Amino acid sequence: VITEAGFGSDIGLEKFMNIKCRLSDLWPSAIVIVTTVRALKSHGGEAKNLVEGCRTNLRRHLEHCNSYGVPVIVAINRFANDSEDEIETVQEEATQSGAFAAVACTHFAEGSQGAVDLATSIVRACEHEVSDRQFFYDLELSIEDKIRRIAKNIYHAADVSFSDLAMAKIKSFEKEGCDKLPICMAKTAASFSDDPNLKGAPSGFTLPLRDLSASIGAGFIVAYCGSISTMPGLPTRPCFYNIDVDQDGRV
């Protein structure tokens, strides 16, 4: 079974491992990080340095993924303008940072044949025994401590600042007896911090926690960081701008 955990290991994978795997009593045999040369360059500072992006952002994601004791494969979605040297740089930096394998993928252009090497690497990784299941926090911890565990160990924050509203919600959840649920962090996937413009691998920042809500039926508590919106993840330019109807009514 292959499933998509969501955007960013700090957001999608963290929820998958600490909520979904905990509640389902299932554990993955391998983890795949999908990246591109362009994305890594965006984390390489003003110079858009690919190596810098690999040694900060990609390394941080690999560090997090490897903490679960599961083999990690880096899938590099290759674009037509990516050079061979750039692909090899990502592969080298990824394996040096703990990836089981780093594979260039061309399935967008070549269909299933472009993903054969990735599939082969995943099969090889799944043949390895994984270590004991490791969650980032115990459900018996307080809501504040569970959030701090995630913020400090995964995001590398120095601390978490809880708003008055968030603290009031926490006291209410404790009174209602739902404070032992896992935490679903609502945070940008564009940065390890709450600021989408803070690229690379930021650390030492204070994560602002503005609000919480209890999704009792789903079985978790949602923690809202910074100015994050919980509206669906839509593009900044909706696709309908590129759709037109001619004089004959043809779309």
Percent of the chain with pLDDT over 90: 83
Amino acid, res. 217? G
Task: Tell the residue number behind the tokens 């594979």, with chain if given.
Answer: 103
**Relative orientation angle of helices 143-153 and 164-176, to the nearest 10 degrees:** 130
> What is the rounded radius of gyration, in angstroms, for the C-alpha atoms of the chain?
20
Confidence class for position 159, pLDDT limits 50, 70, 90:
very high
Task: Tell the residue number behind the tokens 């989408």, with chain if given.
Answer: 196
More confident residue, 90 or 131: 90
Average of pLDDT values for 98-104?
97
pLDDT at 231 over 80: no
Percent of the chain with pLDDT over 70: 98
Phi and psi for 18 in degrees, rounded to 5?
-90, -15
pLDDT tens readout for residues 29-86:
999 999 999 999 999 988 899 999 999 999 999 999 999 999 999 999 999 999 999 9
pLDDT tens readout for residues 14-28:
999 999 999 999 999
Distance CA(153)–CA(21), nearest Å, equals 19
pTM score, whole prediction: 0.88
Give the pLDDT score at 65: 95
Q: Of 33, 63, 31, 30, which is closest to residue 129 (Cα–Cα)?
A: 30
Look over the chain and give the mean of its residue pLDDT values, rounded to a whole number. Answer: 94
| Strand arrangement of the beta sheet that strand 220-225 belongs to | 159-162, 206-215, 220-225, 183-186
- H or E element in which residue 9 lies: none
Confidence class for position 232, pLDDT limits 50, 70, 90:
low
Name the token pair of 101.
């394998």
Average of pLDDT values for 155-161?
97
